[in-house]
Structure 1
Amino acid sequence: MKRLIGTTLFTTGALVAALVLPGAPAQASEREPRIDLRVLVVSDGGPATDAIAAELDAAGTPYTEIDLTRADRPVIDAGYLADTSGDRNRAKFQAVVLPNDNPFPAGSAEMAALVNYERAYDIPQVDAYTYARPEVGLQYAVLGGYAGSLDGVAAQTTAAGLSGPFGYLEGAVPFEDNSPTVGESYAYLSTPVAGADFTPYVEAAIPGTTKRGSLVGEYRHDGRRELVVTFVYNQYQQQFRLLARGIVEWMTGGTHLGASRNYFAVHVDDVFAADDRWNSTLNCTPGDVDCTDPDAVPDPIRMTAADVDHAAAWQTSRNFTLDMAYNAAGTVDFRADNNGADPLADRFVAKRNDFRWINHTYTHAFLGCEQNTSTVPWQCATNPDGSIKWVSRQDVSDEIALNRVWGQTAGLPLENDELVTGEHSGLRVLPQQNTDNPNLGPALGDNNIGWLASDNSREPGQRQVGTATTVPRYPMNVFYNAGRAAEQVDEYNWIYTSRAQGGSGICEDNPATTTCLPAPL
């Protein structure tokens, strides 16, 4: 949704193709050279260069990748790196990313071409991962430094880092430690060589000493600038995610095509509705079609007014706001069954401005094909001619409009062009429904919907559906039918442990999609 997109980092606009930097020498004429807004990524197939490429991909920053493991790759020479544009010299890349400070054989003409290019056009170089050594401005780690695991260590950004490319960081940079038996964060910690023009940006304490060693720093030498990174990482690790933006900021000088977006939100779906509770004795959910035991009596879960107060207080203590995706029929039906009373809805409405709100349709109806639930799994119902029966445009539109009207009447602070359909229905869902409901797009247009939630585990990319652009949401594996931690754990164990361990064996029967736990939680 629009408000979740977050803030835009350094963007020059879609039509800007090049940057003219002062101080770069002109060779073909007296005019300043043109420097294209594109990054050269030279990869050896390792995780570090792949991580930086992934960051550029995510931001939409143009780059060219050369894979050193390919025999048919282009040769890096002066002509590959620069040419002329009109009466000006042109540098084709604004920055260079290498796997380390020099990934080529000794005496390499390609490395010489890169060195000359970087000097001529003041092009920065990122050493994606290298060990501490004098060639990068650092002492060898054996000379009072450290080489080994950094699992669980909290690195710090230096004053130079905070006033420079890593100024967006507000605290420590924690290195992951997800398992006591697996090393996750290998690094070199060292201090600059005496006399080296080296500025540490991110440091950590060297074990057994009072000194701090560099993890990320800038080395200036021979008319060149290198960002020296001395810890190994991949694109998913926390430490890289925290530092990735600063690495791109450093290499581009804060000017690049694309935008870096950082956002996090938690959507609480089905607000006002009730869910049937998991039965830990019967190992099923009373009310579901597969829970046929005669003792399976539904036990509804529904928030209380006290839960609203707790959620609001939790938000305040953490400076965080929850998004409530609501179904108005839940409170309408509850009032009908309770002489017009609904303390939950009353409390939510009273504290409506403490939360954000998203239209989640009136009844949480399935808005794709009409479902035939006589089979497990369900199938799309069909017409006599074999064609699929679709939920109608009017029915889809009513679900959207009725819920919106209820929210507006209650004074909820809504963004009226946002929508989350029940189970992301209406969109294609495999294997039963391999296309969108053809009535979904027109109904979205009828209600001026511009942003439609989708399931990132099914469709990680955005696409257009009628008037709306999809926004992939990341599902959290907290079951809808669990209201207590013990129920969550019990159901999780039932699904993800083998029959020998007391589970259902679902994980054994479906090894391609489900992994059995080594032991119950």
Structure 2
Amino acid sequence: MGRRTRRAAALAAAGLLATSLQSLTAHAATPARVDLKVLVVDDGGPATAAIIAELASQGTPYTVVNLQDPSRPTITAAFLSDTVNGTPRAKFEGVVMPNDNPFAAGSAEMTALAAYEAAFGIRQVDAYTYAQPAVGLNWAQNPGYIGSLDGTQGAVTTQGTAGPFGYLKGSVPFEQPDPAVSTSYGYLATPLAQQAAGATFTPLVDAPIPGSTARGSLVGQYDHDGRSEMVITFVYNQYQQQYRLLARGIVDWVTKGVHLGYDRNYFAVQSDDLFMSDDRWDSTLKCTPGDVTCPPGTPETANPIRMTTADEAYAKQWQTDHGFTVDWAYNGGGSEDWKSDHETTTDPLVNQFVADQGSFRFINHTYDHPFLGCVQNVTVVPWQCTTNANGTTQWVSQATISNAIHDNVTWASQKGLQIDPTELITGEHSGLVTLPEQPTDNPYLAPALASNNVKWIASDSSREHNQRAVGSSALTIPRYPMNVFYNAGTAAEETDEYNWIYTSAAQGGSGVCETSGNSTCLSAPLDESTGYSSYIVPLETRIDMGHVLANDPRPHFVHQSNFAEGRIAYPVLESILSTYRNLHNDNTPLVNLKHSDIGGELQRRAAWNTAVTSGQVTAYQVGDSVTVNAPAGVQIQATMPNGTVQQQLIGTSAFGSSYAGSLSGWASRGALQSAVTLKLNGAGTGSNGLSVVATVIKAGTKLGITTPAKALPVPAGVRKAVPAGPGDTSRTKAASLVPGTGKPVPGKAAVKNSRTAKTGKATRPGHK
């Protein structure tokens, strides 16, 4: 294209923009209506997929325009805006682009987007683009850097802390899970010293430029031509810690802090088998006597693992010192067995927990930990469901299930232990589906739950990730199993079993990691004296931090054995807590919910997400007022600026609670109201309360429309998420999927996300 042709194209584009803006000037004095929905222009890459995942996680409505779909809608002025009852309407409150301009040169779609953003003050996120003058940056050279960012220590700038990333203390470390695989790539460059007239570039997150004393931008805000872009110059996927730390701020920035949905960082830990004695791993037999993983006839564990009163005192003080509460799933029958075995009428451990119960939370784990699914045939490994002569499954009876629940509640009442009887964790999540051995729930489980008023029953997230109903009265609460084994009381035992599971047969392990398809193998066995602290603890920290930073309230679980003897649970918990608190400001604490509260959160989310995805939610902002319409009975979920209140028929009421520098939470319609109305006050009044821009850009004015971005490098470790290590089943599964599609990579089966299948550990019939 020659100079004359390029000039003609630029003038034509400027004319289109001017026409779009002129059509709005008649309403300049009228506050615009801005619909609370985000437009995502998707090229199928991992960066846009990551932002889509964050929007979905928060429950924030969005519309995707897939550039790879030949039948996609064309982005025009009419697609982006219209007029409702004489009021100009912006149909999207923010725009996410795969880069600064993914369209062909001279694209009318990019022109329409630029006009729309300028007219309504709508922000745009460039999910991944390269450093260039067109986005306010120097080329990444002299000084500059282009390449892998693995292990880079990014930092939030002063402006970033004062802006969208104020919930972070400052550090944004880039992961390096596998030195042999590049898992990040990006550009480090400095802002242009001489910006275009009226333009500014503000770094929000930066990092040192190798070989230079300068720092290069990783995330910055480029304001120009009446538009504002968040320029991100590194690529990422939804699982990487560097992105997870910034995801909340990206959504808050593009929506100016006014959007439906919210993001909080949850961490709950439940310790099963309190008052019972857990079987111990045998490092010689490489199995657990008393468990069905050992050959039939193997003598039971002679030295089981059980907490002492000293362990209880340590747990109480630890919780106080670390500002964190562990939930204890108790089995009253375990205490009665212990008293019988020790020929005593009292159990000091129970007495001390009861005396200190104000420091703890307790959950019914059934009286004596029976298996509540099918009748197990444990003469074979793995076990099987016993069948009747006609081939039907033999099920544990409803009476047995009911007694296991009821007797534990009665025992707690007799001991003076305060519990919530609506909460339940069955032994090994039994009674629920247990694949592959038991493909359906025990049909007697649901009526037993109903008769005992159980509303919240724990399930295994590695088997069933989503909440579901069990009968008409109960809902599941999926839990993440931590790779701190129930049958290990010391670091050496944990490491020996870990080696057996995750080491190849040639290296002396079981070889399960080579055949299960659900885990990776260690390159060599871990040192039993150092492997727990040097490898297992950091790895489990990375895996669990992935859940914490993903707006995921699902709890994690370990066992009482891990709080006894070597107390191996604490190094993991302390590592998670310290890692989190070193990265986040005090305004963004970990949210530590009890069992039933987690269930309620998942239940509300499910109703909200169903309403959003089915198009039953509409929300918009006009001036300082936000109106949200949702189906009757569905609570609305939103994030708003500080000072926001809910408008009632008469007066106002509080909205949400403070978190990460904003107000967020759930709200229901007020009495005699058909919608939820939120009023933005104080500093938040103008965040999205924008009058339509009255300025008309004349033909010939330089537009903030760049040439389309070239294809950008994306390393294999971003295209296919690299697992943090053995046990990281979510990213193992993601690595086998085509980014942005959820479909298996051709020729490669998706990995089954099942810890039971991965470890080869079968459920145990009970403890003695």
> Quick check: TM above 0.5?
yes
Cα separation, 2, equivalents of 1:63 and 1:40: 6
Gap change, CA 1:214 and 1:323, over 3 Å in 2: same
Partner of residue 313, structure 2: 309
Q: Is residue 2:501 matched to residue 1:498?
A: no
Gap change, CA 1:31 and 1:155, over 3 Å in 2: same
Partner of residue 473, structure 2: 467
SS across alignment from 1:353:
helix
Partner of residue 330, structure 2: 326
Conservation of the 8 A alpha-carbon contact between 1:130 and 1:231: yes
Cα separation, 2, equivalents of 1:385 and 1:27: 80
Q: Structure 2 matches for 1:104-119, cutoff 5 A?
A: 104-119=103-118
Conservation of the 8 A alpha-carbon contact between 2:38 and 2:92: yes
Q: Which amino acid aligns with 1:252?
A: T
Gap change, CA 1:358 and 1:285, over 3 Å in 2: same
Gap change, CA 1:421 and 1:73, over 3 Å in 2: same
Q: Which amino acid aligns with 1:221?
A: H
Structure 1 residues 314-366: Cα deviation after superposition (integer angstroms, max 9, x where no partner)? 33443322221111211121122221243333333333333322221211222
Q: Is residue 2:366 matched to residue 1:369?
A: no
Partner of residue 242, structure 1: 245
Conservation of the 8 A alpha-carbon contact between 2:157 and 2:170: no
Conservation of the 8 A alpha-carbon contact between 1:40 and 1:65: yes
Cα separation, 1, equivalents of 2:512 and 2:209: 48
Q: Structure 2 matches for 1:62-461, cutoff 5 A?
A: 62-194=61-193, 195=195, 196-289=199-292, 290-292=294-296, 298-338=302-342, 339-461=344-466
Conservation of the 8 A alpha-carbon contact between 1:29 and 1:87: no
Q: Which amino acid aligns with 1:251?
A: V
Conservation of the 8 A alpha-carbon contact between 1:426 and 1:437: yes
Cα separation, 1, equivalents of 2:319 and 2:150: 30
**Pairwise CA RMSD:** 2.5
Gap change, CA 1:296 and 1:334, over 3 Å in 2: closer
Q: Report the CA distance between 1:515 and its aligned residue.
A: 4.2
Q: Which amino acid aligns with 1:471?
A: I
Structure 1 residues 18-39: Cα deviation after superposition (integer angstroms, max 9, x where no partner)? xxxxxx9566796433222211
Q: Report the CA distance between 1:125 and its aligned residue.
A: 0.4
Q: Report the CA distance between 1:169 and its aligned residue.
A: 2.1
Q: TM-score, normalised by structure 2?
A: 0.61
Q: Which amino acid aligns with 1:394?
A: A
Cα separation, 2, equivalents of 1:242 and 1:511: 32
Cα separation, 1, equivalents of 2:46 and 2:111: 25
Q: Which amino acid aligns with 2:501?
A: I
Cα separation, 2, equivalents of 1:433 and 1:331: 30
Cα separation, 2, equivalents of 1:451 and 1:429: 18
Structure 1 unmatched ranges of 5 or more: 1-23
Cα separation, 1, equivalents of 2:413 and 2:221: 54
Q: Report the CA distance between 1:310 and its aligned residue.
A: 2.9
Q: Which amino acid aligns with 1:117?
A: Y
Conservation of the 8 A alpha-carbon contact between 1:25 and 1:32: no
Q: Report the CA distance between 1:434 and its aligned residue.
A: 1.9
Structure 1 residues 398-417: Cα deviation after superposition (integer angstroms, max 9, x where no partner)? 22232233334444453432
Cα separation, 2, equivalents of 1:294 and 1:126: 61
Gap change, CA 1:506 and 1:46, over 3 Å in 2: same
Aligned length: 497
Partner of residue 550, structure 2: none
Q: Which amino acid aligns with 1:230?
A: T
Partner of residue 14, structure 1: none
Q: Report the CA distance between 1:246 and its aligned residue.
A: 0.8
Conservation of the 8 A alpha-carbon contact between 1:286 and 1:299: no
SS across alignment from 1:65:
strand
Q: Is residue 2:45 matched to residue 1:52?
A: no
SS across alignment from 2:259:
coil
Structure 1 residues 228-260: Cα deviation after superposition (integer angstroms, max 9, x where no partner)? 112221100111111101111111122222232
Q: Report the CA distance between 1:295 and its aligned residue.
A: 7.2
Cα separation, 1, equivalents of 2:336 and 2:522: 42
Partner of residue 484, structure 1: 490
Conservation of the 8 A alpha-carbon contact between 1:29 and 1:89: no
Gap change, CA 1:306 and 1:103, over 3 Å in 2: same
Partner of residue 32, structure 2: 33
Q: Which amino acid aligns with 1:475?
A: P
Partner of residue 42, structure 1: 41
Conservation of the 8 A alpha-carbon contact between 1:368 and 1:390: yes
Q: TM-score, normalised by structure 1?
A: 0.88
Q: Report the CA distance between 1:142 and its aligned residue.
A: 0.8
SS across alignment from 1:129:
coil
Q: Report the CA distance between 1:115 and its aligned residue.
A: 0.7
Gap change, CA 1:264 and 1:502, over 3 Å in 2: same
After TM superposition, the structure 1 stretch with the greater mean CA deviation from structure 2, 89-98 or 243-252, is: 89-98
Gap change, CA 1:404 and 1:211, over 3 Å in 2: farther
Conservation of the 8 A alpha-carbon contact between 1:27 and 1:89: no
SS across alignment from 2:229:
strand
After TM superposition, the structure 1 stretch with the greater mean CA deviation from structure 2, 316-325 or 458-467, is: 316-325
Conservation of the 8 A alpha-carbon contact between 1:26 and 1:89: no
Gap change, CA 1:29 and 1:145, over 3 Å in 2: closer
Cα separation, 2, equivalents of 1:262 and 1:491: 31
Gap change, CA 1:213 and 1:506, over 3 Å in 2: closer
Cα separation, 2, equivalents of 1:97 and 1:345: 56
Q: Report the CA distance between 1:292 and its aligned residue.
A: 4.7
After TM superposition, the structure 1 stretch with the greater mean CA deviation from structure 2, 496-505 or 458-467, is: 496-505
| Identical columns (%) | 59
Cα separation, 2, equivalents of 1:464 and 1:267: 21
Gap change, CA 1:161 and 1:414, over 3 Å in 2: farther
Structure 1 residues 153-189: Cα deviation after superposition (integer angstroms, max 9, x where no partner)? 3333233323322222234222212233433333323
Higher relative contact order (CA 8 A, sep 6+): 2
Q: Report the CA distance between 1:433 and its aligned residue.
A: 2.0
Q: Report the CA distance between 1:92 and its aligned residue.
A: 1.9
Cα separation, 2, equivalents of 1:314 and 1:232: 40
Gap change, CA 1:336 and 1:373, over 3 Å in 2: same
Cα separation, 2, equivalents of 1:250 and 1:511: 43
Conservation of the 8 A alpha-carbon contact between 1:334 and 1:341: no
After TM superposition, the structure 1 stretch with the greater mean CA deviation from structure 2, 382-391 or 230-239, is: 382-391
Q: Which amino acid aligns with 2:486?
A: Y
